[in-house]
Amino acid sequence: MSTASRVATRIADVPFLDKEDTSLLLVLPGLFVFSAFMLFPVLYLVGISFTNARPANLFAGETALDVLTFGQAEFVGLQNYVSALTDPAFWNSFGVTWLFVGTSVTAKIAFSVGIALVVTSDRVRGKRFLRSLIIIPMGLPAIFVVTVWRGIFSTAEFGLANQILREIGFESVAWLSQRWTAFLAYNVTEVWLAYPFMVLITVSALQDVPEELHEAAMVDGAGYVSRFLHVTLPAIKRPVMFASILTAAASFQAFLIPYVFNQGGPARANELIVVYGYREAFTFSQYGEGAAISLLAVAFIGAFMWLNVKKGRLADGVSET
């Protein structure tokens, strides 16, 4: 008998504990770990968002308990939320973030579905080798990948993107010094980071499409494009939609790409909402407002995911009990 089984047996033998009490005792360690590493930081962030917390007052206490109780920071109610929602920079970052989500997710879906169709085609040889190559970006540290792509889109003449442009007869581009070229660079890097996940989901969905449906469509005279639109696409729609919602949430929280590339520049024009909250907190030392911005971002992305799951009926068939 394992140690865990012996502990469970001894707890169950305690006379004044019923089965429900025993179950509660068994999950208490897990609840403690969850509270310490997940629940407490969230609650602390919520608390800070209602104060005027800054480094000067938040860390003014003499003990750790003083810091945990927000030091000498004062309660300001909803002032941080009002300040964020009335700041034009917040709405600029909010709009740019959703634009980034829309463009990057669209590109990821198109690119990933195209690759998945190639590596599942009967006409392609070495499909296993190709699939192993596809997942390579998943094994690389994100900061390493982002730094490499920053070098590719370097404004300098030696940047790979500029070298390619010169080779095909175009002039060099100051990629990260102009708003929309920098935004394009964000999208390309985001697609590279996320496409392996989308491809894996799409390949799994494609393998579940009954071959009989394709054969029946071919008998009816349907071409490749028609079979894709009327057979393949409806069959893989739900898995691809689910993966798209997850990757959209990741794009909404993008931080490394804009921050490492040019800190959301030029002149904060491409400052995604997480970068905006980070800079308010750690560049301008407005911890309270930074916390409020972070919680607003969580609320927006939570509502987005809930609406998509609800409208997309992705939870159909899941028991509510």
Is the Cβ–Cβ distance between 52 and 288 less than 8 Å?
yes
Q: What is the pLDDT of residue 106?
A: 93
Q: What is the pLDDT of residue 316?
A: 55
Q: What is the dihedral of CA 144, 146, 147, 151, to 10 degrees?
A: 140
Does residue 260 sit within a domain? yes
Is the Cβ–Cβ distance between 297 and 281 less than 8 Å?
no
Q: Which of 271, 286, 316 is the C-terminal boundary of a domain?
A: 271
**pTM to 2 decimal places:** 0.83
Q: For residue range 118-160, what is the model confidence (pLDDT) as tens digits?
A: 888 777 777 778 878 888 888 888 899 999 999 999 887 778 8
Q: For residue range 164-199, what is the model confidence (pLDDT) as tens digits?
A: 888 888 888 889 999 999 999 999 999 999 888 898
Q: Are residues 151 and 240 in the same domain?
A: yes
Give the Cβ contact number of residue 223 at 10 Å: 10
Domain that holds residue 40: 20-77
Reference 192, options 116, 252, 138; nearest CA is 138
Q: Are residues 105 and 33 in the same domain?
A: no
Q: What is the pLDDT of residue 222?
A: 74
Q: Are residues 115 and 192 in the same domain?
A: yes
The CATH number that applies at residue 118 is 1.10.3720.10
Q: Which of 30, 57, 77 is the C-terminal boundary of a domain?
A: 77
* Percent above pLDDT 70 for the chain: 88
Angle at 58 between CA 255 and CA 88, to 5 degrees: 45
Reported confidence tier of residue 2, pLDDT bands at 50, 70, 90: low
Does residue 247 sit within a domain? yes
Does residue 183 sit within a domain? yes
Q: For residue range 238-282, what is the model confidence (pLDDT) as tens digits?
A: 888 888 888 998 899 899 999 999 988 888 899 999 999 999 998
Total number of domains constituting the chain: 2
Separation between Cα atoms, residue 47 and residue 68, nearest integer Å: 10
Q: Are residues 43 and 125 in the same domain?
A: no
